[in-house]
Amino acid sequence: MNCRRAEDMFIEYLYGELEPDRAELLRAHLDECLVCRTRLAELVRVRQLAAQIPDAEPSPMAINRVIARAREEEERTRSIWGFRWVKVLAPLCLAVVIGGLVAYQFRAGLAPKPMVYAPAKKEQRPAVQEPLPAPEPEKKFSPPAARDAGKLIAPAAPKPASRGVALPPPPPAEPGAREAAPPQPAADLAASRPAGPEAFTSGGGEAPPADRLSAQPGEAEQPAVGAGRAPLPAAAGPPRAKAVVRDKAMTPAAGEKLEGSIPSLLKEGESSLEAGRYGEAGQAFSQALNFLRPGDPDRPRALLGLARAQEGQKDLTTAIQTYRELARESSAHRDLAEQKIQELSAEVK
Amino acid sequence: MSRYAAGEEAAFEILLSRYSRPLYSFLCRYLGRADRAEDVFQDVFYEVIRARKSYRPQSRFAPWLFRIGRNRAVDRLRRNGLRDMESLDRAANPREEDADRRVNTITAGDPDPETLVHGRELGKALEGALARLPAHQREVLWLKEKSGLSLAEIAEITGVSENTVKSRLRYALEKMRAVLAQQGFDP
């Protein structure tokens, strides 16, 4: 190694950054070269002196300002993050709470349930509803008020099969009563009126006509044929009387209120229909139909609205049945109804 | 810095206590005026605070800090039009009133009056020798002696090759030796 190459290594050697093998070479040269050894010794001494030059210190004010800025920034970041979280979490929490409430109401049956009206089908009338002569003693125990007034017209449901005897037909209703409005035999009554689970369905119960609501809940819970009879199986017949009691909305007071609001129900149904909210429209028309007897001037309007709602919901079979009922009940709408029946039947096929 | 970037607030004060003196000294030498050095010093740490979320510990903190410091100092000099020889020569002695304090610091704890006088004189001679260095030599010498940066890191900060840094350092030390020898302090 010559002196020039050795001098090139001085700085790295001085600051301890020379690789060990090169450092070894330099040390070997320094052992032999007095000039390089002296030069390096001078640099070491100068370096030691230079290292003694003291650092300047920033003023405490400058340090404090920097620390204050760091804390400010930390606070700001924290508050920004907090705000962001609030912005995200607040609507989320609100949505969860509202969703939970709605789900709870639906599960608990507290929310108003959709009432779907469907016209009755004669062929669906359960065979067990064939009237049999009622035993005299049972008639004696039937609630006189309800029987005499013809207000409690729960369709007779069959007894459990084990009893082996079908229930007697309900007592004939008064001519003015809704169920008996078209003078028909009791056996046909259930067929002409919505009867059976698919007729008036409102989830937890069905909406009875207003005139039936005048029966006391206590009476309604009893079988029409009298006291002492075991509760009827729900599947065997429409549990109307029970529904009256179960559904608080169908208390007599509520029934009167609903009956008084038929025009508003119809308007509501029609506006829902126009807005394309067929579910709500069907519900409104179904509720109105619960209080509209055949022959009522508003009944065709409700039937037509319901049929359209069912059509809108693509429930074409039910819509056809509703149009049939409309055609049967209203001569003014017969042509329209028959045309729609034809169209929908073709569509179903 | 990684701890501070991770949200540990106390880590910032550790950084500040560790790097405030070397950085401020470097800025004083570079800018030549304590008030400007203090402004830039604060700006540098504000930048550290702002950049903590995006800090990636791929390299050491010190070179990153000094690179910010140097860039800010260059900006400041450009803005004030002060990058001339005069200001940089003054940079060796940013505050006259601090000179005695620095000299006293060199010999602090030495009670011998003769040594004290010698120390003061040596301190002044060192400051004078440093002031006579060209700015680019003074810069690398200060970064090497006071910042603990490697030659490669200094090369990266100053934007020159490592060999250039080595030669600048060697010339700086040789020139200081010559100036000190002229003033009677023969190393």
Over residues B36-65, the pLDDT tens digits come to: 888 888 888 888 888 777 777 777 888 888
Average pLDDT (A220-247) is 38
Instruction: Please check whether residue B177 touches A, CB under 8 A.
Output: yes
Confidence band for B101, pLDDT divided at 50, 70 and 90: very low
Rounded Cα–Cα distance for residues A21 and B128 (Å): 38
Rounded Cα–Cα distance for residues A340 and A335 (Å): 9
Provide the pLDDT for residue A306: 93
Provide the pLDDT for residue B74: 87
A272-330: pLDDT as tens digits: 999 999 999 998 988 888 888 888 888 999 999 999 999 998 889 899 999 998 998 88
Provide the pLDDT for residue B53: 72
Rounded Cα–Cα distance for residues B138 and B160 (Å): 15
Instruction: Please check whether residue B145 touches A, CB under 8 A.
Output: yes
Q: Maximum Cα–Cα distance for chain A, whole Å?
A: 143
Which three-class secondary structure state does DSSP give residue A307?
Answer: helix
Rounded Cα–Cα distance for residues A277 and A273 (Å): 6
Minimal C-alpha gap between B81 and chain A (Å): 24
Phi, psi of A205 (to 5 degrees): -170, -175
Using alpha carbons only, what angle is made at residue B10 by residues B5 and B11, rounded to the nearest 5 degrees? Answer: 45
If one counts every other C-beta atom within 10 angstroms of the C-beta of residue A44, the result is 15
The tokens of B140 are what? Answer: 């690398």
| Contacts of B164 by beta carbon, 8 Å cutoff, 6+ apart | B155
| ipTM score | 0.75
Total length of chain B: 187
Confidence band for B181, pLDDT divided at 50, 70 and 90: confident
Which three-class secondary structure state does DSSP give residue A216?
Answer: coil
Confidence band for B166, pLDDT divided at 50, 70 and 90: very high
Q: Decide: B61 and B90 in contact? Cβ < 8 Å.
A: no
Residue the block writes with tokens 């050697």: A13
Mean pLDDT of chain A: 67
Q: Decide: A6 and A26 in contact? Cβ < 8 Å.
A: yes
Average pLDDT (A206-224) is 38
Q: Decide: A292 and A265 in contact? Cβ < 8 Å.
A: no
pLDDT at A31 > cutoff 50: yes
B81-97: pLDDT as tens digits: 654 434 444 444 444 44
The tokens of B20 are what? Answer: 């405030």
Amino acid at A166: A
Residues in B 45-104 with any Cβ partner in A closer than 8 A: 45-46, 49-50, 94-95, 98, 101-102
Contact flag B46-A69 (C-beta cutoff 8 Å):
yes
